[in-house]
Amino acid sequence: MKPIGPLMWEHRLIEQMVDLLRGEIDRITSRKTVNVILVEQAVDFFKTYADRTHHGKEEEILFRDLAKKRMSPEHRTVMEELIGEHVRGRELVRKLVEAKDLYVNGYAEALPHIARELQALVEFYPGHIEKEDKRFFFPCLAYFTQDEQKRMLEEFHAFDRNMIHEKYRLVVENFLGKKVKRPALAG
């Protein structure tokens, strides 16, 4: 398997979440109500899965390794655009959280803001995913040897294994208001 395989599979799940959000936008505009639980789960999905897990592998592994290569100006430009788009995605989620929090705290006028921020996410992700899938991932494989691709795939798997621990360590830290010391491994 190529290292872009897991990234593209992750895109398919992100696309399914985007489809769910399209339905929620229709619900908000037609019924003037929002499924707050769905929005909260979508926020968690985008923060943990789409951004930290998926974009994390891209930024901390793929882009890191590509930055060490002699890339074409076109590929380097696209990589920089993608990094900027990741920042944009984080900002969209932050705005969605703000709108949802206002609504949950009794500000009913925030409902159209939730719909607007959901719409922004729904419009953002398909283009971002297409750029990676069609214009970036496959050409960038040529910069890596088979051994480098194999090591990258192994690093992706290790990254994924650590994500559940990172997520829930952060949950505890948020409630405690301080960093949690990682226990030493036995052995």
Distances (CA, A) of 142 to 28, 71, 80, 110: 45, 10, 18, 48
What is the CATH T-level fold of the domain 4-176, as seen in this structure? Four Helix Bundle (Hemerythrin (Met), subunit A) (1.20.120)
pTM for this one?
A: 0.90
Which pLDDT tens digit goes with each residue over 13-56? 999 999 999 999 999 999 999 999 999 999 999 999 999 999 99
Reported as a single tens digit per residue, the pLDDT across 110-132 is: 999 999 999 999 999 999 999 99
